[in-house]
A = this chain, B = another copy of it.
């Protein structure tokens, strides 16, 4: 068996211990004589892991008691539709802050459902280099919420602190940095995230929703699109993505053993310091226009002096067993995605490679 260094932007690396446990149990989980993929979601064995996963997530992500965790399917993209469907009532609107491609997609979906507004946009020459300051954001009257995207994988930017608007709940797409750092829940009405960066395999979407937003969700929706339904049925209205939830359960236990979110946040800060330190040492070679205070701890995005060099870097990395460094097809270049499963050791190996490549090619 070989293993590579995996810097894919998502789906991406999982802790090896998690995969080893899952492998061991794949034909006989928890002494049931069945695979976790074969067990009824109405069985007590499955329900135990379903509930435990929610509890562990609440505990480790420090989610206050007045929020519910939902474990759903459909991807963060389904939330682009469910959020406005549930939360924007007759005569209301919502304000969207556009900081990248997925923020735009969220806005475009909402536009199909209600009349919504751009609260701010940092688009510049068709791309995005920064997060706006709070002062730049205009909240439209009668906004049911303000929507932001906490981390922009394609452009390598991240909100360091969430903005707060008196009486207007914040809805945050945290797909690419959920559970990477501690957050202040005070302004938060709803968080949603695909699990496939920091928490598990693709196919699981997490919702953290404040109880009053469940209450005020619209009543006339098809059950599957209704937060009320999913909350009242404990995310068992329909068959959940059991395997992905099972893996998330193991990822959470792994994180807890490591020292929880304290450890993870500290490690992510340290990883970012190492990588940005490296690229800042040779700014004429590792070229980035991302505003320093908007830099993402999850995805580091840069160009090299030529496309040929970028191609060469990707090829040489692959030969060294370093995978997933290609930038998003819309922006090109190089992207280093360093979610929780990649530790300091992996980052140092990567930096050695970048260093070596720089010396040979600068």
Binding site for B on A (CB under 8 A): 1-4, 6, 8-14, 16, 19-20, 22-23, 26-28, 31-35, 37-43, 73-78, 80-81, 105, 108-110, 112-113, 194, 196, 200-204, 220-225, 237-244, 247, 321, 323-324, 329
Instruction: Tell which of B35, B74, B108 touches A74, judged by Cβ atoms closer than 8 Å.
Output: B74
Give bound CA distance, A112 to B221, whole Å.
6
Q: A3-B27, A222-B113, A223-B108 are in contact. Are A242 and B203 (CB under 8 A)?
A: yes
Considering the complex, give the chain B residue whose CB is closest to the CB of A34.
B6
Give bound CA distance, A196 to B243, whole Å.
11
A2 / chain B contacts, CB cutoff of 8 Å: 28, 31, 33
22 pairs from A and B in contact (CB 8 Å cutoff): A2-B28, A4-B32, A4-B33, A11-B38, A11-B39, A11-B41, A13-B38, A16-B27, A19-B27, A19-B37, A22-B26, A37-B201, A73-B75, A73-B203, A74-B74, A81-B224, A113-B222, A201-B243, A202-B239, A202-B240, A203-B203, A203-B239
A242 / chain B contacts, CB cutoff of 8 Å: 11, 201-203
B112 touches A77 (CB 8 A): no
A39 / chain B contacts, CB cutoff of 8 Å: 8, 11
Instruction: Tell which of B9, B76, B110, B244 touches A40, judged by Cβ atoms closer than 8 Å.
Output: B9
Give bound CA distance, A16 to B108, whole Å.
45
Give bound CA distance, A180 to B20, whole Å.
34
Give bound CA distance, A19 to B28, whole Å.
10
B11 touches A74 (CB 8 A): no
Give bound CA distance, A337 to B12, whole Å.
36
Give bound CA distance, A220 to B108, whole Å.
11
A12 / chain B contacts, CB cutoff of 8 Å: 38, 40
A72–chain B nearest beta-carbon distance, Å: 8
A224 touches B78 (CB 8 A): yes
Given contacts A9-B40, A110-B222, A202-B239, 18 further A-B contacts (CB under 8 A): A1-B28, A3-B27, A3-B34, A6-B38, A10-B239, A11-B37, A11-B40, A20-B27, A23-B23, A37-B202, A37-B247, A42-B329, A77-B223, A77-B238, A81-B225, A109-B224, A203-B204, A203-B244
